[in-house]
Amino acid sequence: MDTSEIIKKVRKIEIKARGLSQNIFAGQYHSAFKGRGMAFSEVREYQYGDDVRDIDWNVTARFHRPYVKVFEEERELTVMLLVDVSGSLDFGTVRQTKREMVTEIAATLAFSAIQNNDKIGVIFFSDRIEKYIPPKKGRRHILYIIRELLDFKPASVRTDVGMAVSYLTRMMKRRTTAFLLSDFYTRDDFTKAMQIANSKHDMVAIQVYDPRAKMLPDIGLMKVLDAETGHEMIIDTGSAKLRQAHTRYWVEREDRLHTLFAKSKVDWTSVATNENFTKALMLLFKKRA
């Protein structure tokens, strides 16, 4: 992709993502993702019913009557996007590839974050950490992130979700809101890594999938390629037994994912590449509000 084409795509994604974050997600994002805790705001005179643990003894001694510290929620967050850049994300049979949808979702979340005055960073991962972009604020920083999402070339095509989640736990010292964006085609069981990460941070998972992963069309012989192993084979989609086995595999895989996120106490949503991701994000935000 040449520079002018990247700039056009960045601009197009910016317009869409900024519009969504301003017009649709503004209030929902704010209420769904809470600040790190309580920050000191001011002192005032003690009133009946105030917690005696909040008394500011220095001010009380100075004025010879009790004063209490007043706290308010500390709104500013650090948001991290954990973005799967493995080979399976390049697959797409309908309107767009999984990677293109992940880019749009990531951009929308990024614009929602800076509108809320949050810092945003990114971890690109395959079966290794491909790139780490430290959290910062501002439009220029987000445009740089979108450019990287569009044009990033990973060193590996395989996936290891648990490794990426463990890296987040080690890297981020303060509590962070982290969005994990992936199709979750991974052979590792990342339950433990997710549980540890979610005890320290606020983890949210977003699965992006192609509708053909759920149900094969009846179109006869089809060549399929595993983007992460390079294995290629011909399958006969005219076989009802094969199509049923394919759907059964999908349902079992989704059940395992559902169980994993439930055990980890992680909120998650799933969206197909032929669907509008706005609805999925809105439902996710409302569930958390």
Pick the closest to residue 98 from 206, 228, 229, 209 (CA basis). 209
Q: Which residue did the predictor score with more confidence, 264 or 229?
A: 264
pLDDT at 52 over 90: no
Query: Is the confidence at residue 38, as pLDDT, over 60?
Result: no
Burial status of residue 81 (CB atoms within 10 A of its CB: 0-12, 13-18, 19 or more): buried
Residues 181 and 214 in one domain: yes
Task: Tell which of 22, 49, 74 closes a domain.
Answer: 74
Q: Is 265 left (phi over 0), alpha (psi -120 to 50) or beta?
A: left
88-121 pLDDT, tens digit each: 888 766 678 999 999 999 999 999 888 888 899 9
The residue from 74, 100, 127 where one domain ends is 74
* Mean pLDDT of the region 233-253: 83
Q: Is the pLDDT of residue 50 over 90?
A: no
DSSP 138-166: SHHHHHHHHHHHHH---S-----HHHHHH
Mean pLDDT check: name the lowest of 85-94, 152-161, 252-261. 85-94
pLDDT at site 153: 92
Rg (CA), the chain: 23
Domain that holds residue 56: 37-74
- Mean pLDDT confidence for 147-159: 93
Q: Whole-number mean pLDDT of the chain?
A: 86
**pLDDT for position 13:** 85
As a whole number, mean pLDDT of residues 156-177 equals: 94
Q: Are 89 and 97 in contact (CB under 8 A)?
A: yes
Q: What's the CATH number where 195 sits?
A: 3.40.50.410
In this structure, are residues 188 and 166 in contact, taking their beta carbons and an 8 Å threshold?
A: no
93 and 233 assigned to the same domain: yes
Confidence of residue 24 (pLDDT cuts 50, 70, 90): low
Same domain, 64 and 80: no
Q: Do 89 and 59 belong to one domain?
A: no
Query: Same domain for 48 and 171?
Result: no
Same domain flag for 152 and 163: yes
- The strand pair at 202-209 and 267-272 is best described as parallel
Instruction: Calculate mean pLDDT across residues 210-232.
Output: 74
Q: Which residue has the higher pLDDT, 52 or 262?
A: 262
Q: If we measure between CA atoms, which residue out of 91, 102, 86 comes closest to residue 224?
A: 91
Give the pLDDT of residue 53: 83
The whole-number average pLDDT for the span 61-65 is: 91
Residues 66, 129, single domain; the answer is no
Is the pTM of the predicted complex or chain greater than 0.95? no
How much of the chain exceeds pLDDT 90, in percent? 46
Report strand pairing: 221-225 vs 232-236.
antiparallel
Residues 61 and 97 reside in one and the same domain = no
Are both 28 and 157 inside the same structural domain?
Answer: yes
Give me the number of domains the chain comprises: 2
Q: Is the pLDDT of residue 137 over 70?
A: yes
Residue 219 has pLDDT above 90, yes or no: no
**In which band, very low, low, confident or very high, does the pLDDT at 257 lie, cut at 50, 70 and 90?**
very high
Q: What is the dihedral of CA 169, 116, 27, 37, to 10 degrees?
A: 50
Distance CA 249, CA 42 (A): 58
Contact 37, 78 (CB under 8 A): no
With beta carbons less than 8 A apart as the criterion, state whether 145 and 110 touch: yes
Residues 138, 180, single domain; the answer is yes
Residue 233 has pLDDT above 60, yes or no: yes
**285 DSSP assignment:** H
Q: 289: which DSSP letter?
A: -
Same domain, 67 and 148: no
Residues 68 and 144 in one domain: no
